[in-house]
A and B are shown apart, each in its own frame.
Chain A
Amino acid sequence: MTLIERQARPSQGKASVSVRLAGVSKVFGRGSSAVRALDRISLQIAPGEFVCLIGASGCGKSTLLSLVAGLEQPTAGEVTVGGGKVAFMFQEAALFPWLTAAGNVELALRAHGSAKAERQRRAAELLELVHLGGFGGKRPHELSGGMRQRVSLARALAQDADVLLMDEPFGALDAMTRDVLHDELDRICAGRDLTVLFVTHNVREAVRLGDRVVVLSSRPGRVIEDFDVPIGRPRRIDSAAVAELAARITDRLREEMSRHGK
């Protein structure tokens, strides 16, 4: 198999599943106004794997992430996260406006009970890692959208989690900033044993980043197909290989949407 050259591909010694969803359904509300957001989803993600989740808006992608994060409980089925620690990165950076960039990162470290000096050192290190050294004293509103997402990434990494959930984190950024952040995300993931579940509605972004691309149907959300991405890294979002697989996935999505439309 020439599949993936990522170093952190399923390591043998550890448990071979990092995130497992078994027959998970989620219904919001009750009675006639009930919305079935997810329907019997089963999904397994190996440690160190980067899985992209793609589907039309409203198909339950964010709900799925909330279930994995433990922010919501499934109506049926079971969600298990090996290792347990989960970090979350949202579409809007969700930074705390009363804290500086460094303060935001330090607050995530505080939850782990490290001492103040240690927190400051670690926060500076993490900001350096996302190329924001020297911006620690800025407040969120003084930063650009891309920089805010970098802080948000640093804050997520500060949690030292095993699983990183990302909900359309680059959806609001311009294409150029997004490309740069894709490269940085690749670089950061390559160095650690981080399992990533990345939600997007941009097919090319999914192929650019993922070891796998899982396609969800709409209303209710179901897994309709699970694509492997046999493209070596580093990848470029405008490479022929990425475009070719993206086109195949888009066709599959279109087919699903037109079937749904009937």
Chain B
Amino acid sequence: MASDSAARGLVMLEASAQLQDARGSRLRARAGKAWAALWPKALAIAIVLAGWQLIHLSGWKKDIFPGPGATLANLWDQLHTGLLWHAIGTTLQRAVVGFGLAVLIGSVVGALVSRIKPLRAAIGSLITGLQTMPSIAWFPFAIILFGISTTAIMFVIVLGAAPSIANGLIAGVDYTPPTLLRAGKVMGLRRLSLYRYLILPASLPAFVAGLKQGWAFAWRSLMAGELLVVIANQPSIGVLLSTDQDQADMVSATAIIIVILVIGIVVDSLFNVANGAIRRRWGLAGS
């Protein structure tokens, strides 16, 4: 009896030691992973800054071209003013609304086109054609139609992003593995239920890829729009940038460009996180 409980105690001790060990090594593994993901990025930023500084030191266009020091200091200052944050707020709000509309419209169009044969024959290639259209070319059209307004910008964002989103969904539906389709059919899934429980979930990875591409188009369209469609009393990132252009304020313009770049990268990496989560869930991840 006594030796039995002693043995049990020993086992429990061992187990808890193992647990702690496992916890510690998991933490270490996570830190290691974060570091492995971070250092190449940090290195890339350092290389860009060093190159930039070198060009600056070489004296090329000395009077106009700012060095990283002055630019980053300017950015730091602007980050402490309400104006930049206000502008970021306006721009991001437009991005969210415009991209949201594009997702809605792209998904509906993609779903319809992927299921209805005549519709595909009619507008399938039109969607791909729209995708190749440089969105800035739509602005004269949009401005004449909607005037200098947020609506004009939204219109071009949707035209820029929705085709990619629709095409992502269509590709996902088209490439649903035939073995899974057969399995679904013999399981008695038909028409709508086949679509809802099999084809749509099977299309998810391609759909997310379409979203990611759609976002890139939306962001570009939005920046073009804010530069072309300058709405008074509504500071946006585009407005700040065109003010800098008017005042030939190169330092501030460069600082704003960095802001645009960072926002683009952050949102893109959100899509990458979503994509990685799906791939892991499905067992598609490499590691």
Contacts and interface: CB of A to CB of B under 8 A. Distances in A.
Interface of A: 69, 71, 86-88, 90, 92, 94-99, 107-108, 110-112, 139-142, 155, 159
A81 to B, nearest CB: 12
B185 interface: yes
Given A87-B186, A90-B182, A141 B204 contact: no
A140 B182 contact: no
Contacts of A111: 187-189, 193
Nearest to B177: A94
A78 B204 CA distance: 40
Given A96-B201, A98-B202, A139 B183 contact: no
A71 B185 contact: yes
Interface in B164-196: 179-180, 182-183, 185-189, 193
B188 A90 contact: no
B198 interface: yes
B61 interface: no
A33 B180 CA distance: 28
Nearest to A111: B188
A97 B179 contact: no
Interface of B: 179-180, 182-183, 185-189, 193, 197-198, 201-202, 204, 281-284
A94 B183 contact: yes
Contacts of A140: 283
A159 B201 contact: no
A135 to B, nearest CB: 15
A88 B188 CA distance: 11
16 contacts: A86-B186, A94-B182, A94-B183, A97-B281, A97-B282, A98-B204, A99-B201, A107-B187, A108-B187, A111-B188, A111-B189, A112-B188, A140-B283, A142-B283, A155-B187, A159-B188
B180 to A, nearest CB: 6
B187 to A, nearest CB: 5
Contacts of B183: 88, 90, 94-96
Nearest to B283: A141
B186 A71 contact: yes
Contacts of B283: 97, 139-142
A151 to B, nearest CB: 12
B248 to A, nearest CB: 54
Contact of A69 (B186, B197, B201): B186
Top 9 A-B pairs, shortest CB-CB distance: A141-B283, A111-B188, A88-B186, A94-B183, A97-B282, A94-B179, A98-B201, A108-B187, A69-B186
B217 to A, nearest CB: 27
Nearest to A165: B186
A139 B285 CA distance: 14
B109 to A, nearest CB: 24
Contacts of B202: 96, 98
A112 B183 CA distance: 15
Contact of B281 (A95, A98, A108): A98
B209 to A, nearest CB: 16
A98 B278 CA distance: 8
A81 B182 CA distance: 19
Contact of A98 (B186, B187, B282): B282
